[in-house]
Amino acid sequence: MHWSPDDQEGVVIAINGQFPGPTIRARAGDTLHLHLTNKLHTEGVVIHWHGIRQIGTPWADGTASISQCAINPGEAFVYRFKVDRAGTYFYHGHYGMQRSAGLYGSLIVDVGEGEKEKFEYDGELSILLSDWWHKGSREQEVDLSSKPMRWIGEPQTLLINGRGQFNCSLAAHFSNSTVAPCKLSGNEQYAPYILKVHPNKTYRLRIASSTALASLNLAIGNHKMRVVEADGNYVKPFTADNIDVYSGDSYSVLFRTDQSPSHNYWLSATVRGREPHTPPALAILNYLPTSPSHLPTSPPPTSPRWDDYPSSKAFSHQILSLPGSPTPPKTPHRRLILLNTQTYINGYTKWSINNISLTLPTTPYLGSIKYNITNAFDAKSPPDRAPPGYNVMRPAPNPNSTYGSGVYVLEFNSTVDVVLQNANALKDNVSEIHPWHLHGHDFWVVGYGEGEFKEGDAAGFNLRDPPYRNTAVIFPYGWTAVRFVADNPGVWAFHCHIEPHLHLGMGVVFAEGVERVRGIPNEAIACGLTGKMLMRNGTR
């Protein structure tokens, strides 16, 4: 539908007439029944429930070509799954680049009936961060798939709960910018989001990022934040002036409304890891009974410089699991080293893992593996590690790679280490931030390092109190190691959560215990070779 997220009218993918989509709220232990009807006229759709592990329901993960067929225009699909753990989550499209088109919303799971949170607060607020382009997502897909590639560029606007300002600035009088001050009634679709609070209370702020590209830094003017949750897991509480939020991350922070009640304050989100050409997103922390129209009298909070990586690394290293949390097995059964590189294939720019750029098949892996259908995807498993001698600090002498749709088959209940190895991109002196998200599992983030990972680095892994998460960042020219147990039967994506990077092939697929999966709905696999199988069997 037509919408104005930032004062420029564009087309968004909405849910039930809302942008962002409606917040879904449940209690731990609930089973959700979500009836999705595709009213897009010319494209399929799926929805991924980000951070929900889908234990026993891998077909409800919402990943096109992996867990299910895309839902065709006019058709419906019912997602039924259990939310087993309290936390801050969200949902988003996982087909093409529909997340860039605004297909996302918040998913909050409260503690189960009769249970209490591990921390106390007086009220709760929630924000969903995103980025916005004036060029539509379909045109972006064509640009990325062109030869030569046309990069999508930086977003025009950062959004907080779907609201941002492009042609004006809420804080114009604090800067030397030529952008005009905003003149708003408050009823505009792009008017700033207002977080209403009472003085001298403790609030829980839930934060999730569905950005397609931007890594962000978030701060609240004159207020410190105490980080208590990351990706649906409790962490050892620590206090921060600002926090880094990468695409796919979610957090809960506590803050105290202990400032002057006659003023309002800025909540700001600024770009990290890329030279910013996008102004900060601003929302207003409104101390009642002060009117929200009284803009803050102090400038927005100052964030670290976009390329202050020591600050970002220090923040990541502060995130540790709460005492009493599950700890990882001491040794892995298998270690994969996934080298992230920017490459060419026949002149097309791609992202590749161990020199293979992921292409998804027309038949969902879950169905083809469960029913032993051959020729549905590449039979050969991708390599466990990159060729020896690759210099991660320099562009590759041979930048060419190949397409592949192969799967890493993991032994069921085995412990797996994955080392995400960053490298120089195609251009000299360029290495980017990549936040990687694992479906179907949480993992322990057991280590970070600089340069090339060496086997001896594993001796320094944190096995005592590593954070338990579903998304982890790799810093430029560095590596990040995660460990998980392959104990959830199904087929699961593991990929960079930057939308154009995944579109260009930056991901892998894990399969584990698929023979144990029961009850796959026919409509989940009624396409490709599994669709033909169902037709032959008369069950479609």
For the chain, counts of helices (H) and of strands (E): 5, 34
What pLDDT score does 138 carry?
Answer: 94
With respect to residue 108, please indicate whether it lies within any of the assigned structural domains: no
Model confidence over 16-40: pLDDT tens digits?
999 999 999 999 999 999 999 999 9
The whole-angstrom distance between residue 336's C-alpha and the CA centroid of its chain comes to 22
139's CB contacts (< 8 A; 6+ apart) are: none
User: Are 376 and 241 found together in one domain?
Assistant: no
pLDDT-flagged residues of the chain (< 50): none
User: Are 284 and 400 found together in one domain?
Assistant: no
What pLDDT score does 177 carry?
Answer: 76
User: Are 276 and 405 found together in one domain?
Assistant: no
CA 407 – CA 419 distance, rounded (Å): 17
User: Are 446 and 518 found together in one domain?
Assistant: yes
What pLDDT score does 178 carry?
Answer: 81
With respect to residue 177, please indicate whether it lies within any of the assigned structural domains: yes
CA 496 – CA 102 distance, rounded (Å): 19
User: How far separated are the first and last CA of the chain, in Å rounded?
Assistant: 33
CA 189 – CA 4 distance, rounded (Å): 6
**Beta pairing, strands 348-353 & 334-345:** antiparallel
Model confidence over 44-68: pLDDT tens digits?
999 999 999 999 999 999 999 999 9
CA 102 – CA 214 distance, rounded (Å): 14
User: Are 218 and 137 found together in one domain?
Assistant: yes
What pLDDT score does 540 carry?
Answer: 53
CA 280 – CA 164 distance, rounded (Å): 9
With respect to residue 95, please indicate whether it lies within any of the assigned structural domains: no
User: Are 293 and 341 found together in one domain?
Assistant: no
With respect to residue 249, please indicate whether it lies within any of the assigned structural domains: yes
What pLDDT score does 389 carry?
Answer: 87
User: Are 294 and 358 found together in one domain?
Assistant: no
User: Are 259 and 363 found together in one domain?
Assistant: no
Model confidence over 314-333: pLDDT tens digits?
999 999 999 999 999 999 99
CA 62 – CA 31 distance, rounded (Å): 16
DSSP string, 504-523: TT-EEEEEESGGG-----GG
What pLDDT score does 31 carry?
Answer: 98
With respect to residue 54, please indicate whether it lies within any of the assigned structural domains: no
What pLDDT score does 263 carry?
Answer: 97
User: Are 292 and 351 found together in one domain?
Assistant: no
User: Are 274 and 161 found together in one domain?
Assistant: yes
With respect to residue 10, please indicate whether it lies within any of the assigned structural domains: no
Do the Cβ atoms of 500 and 487 come closer than 8 Å? no
User: Are 306 and 171 found together in one domain?
Assistant: yes
The residue from 289, 318, 347 where one domain ends is 318
The residue from 318, 342, 370 where one domain ends is 318
State which residues form the domain around 412. 334-536
User: Are 313 and 339 found together in one domain?
Assistant: no
504's CB contacts (< 8 A; 6+ apart) are: 144, 349, 350, 351, 357
Q: How many domains does the chain have?
A: 2
CA 265, 271, 276, 278 torsion-angle sign:
negative
What pLDDT score does 176 carry?
Answer: 75
With respect to residue 36, please indicate whether it lies within any of the assigned structural domains: no
225 residue type, one letter: M
Q: Bridge partners of 20?
A: none
The residue from 318, 344, 361 where one domain ends is 318
Query: In which order are the strands placed within the sheet that holds 157-160?
Result: 157-160, 123-132, 202-209, 250-256, 225-230, 233-240
CATH of the domain at 249: 2.60.40.420
Q: CA–CA distance from 111 to each of 29, 85, 90, 115, 478 (Å)?
A: 9, 7, 16, 6, 37
With respect to residue 137, please indicate whether it lies within any of the assigned structural domains: yes
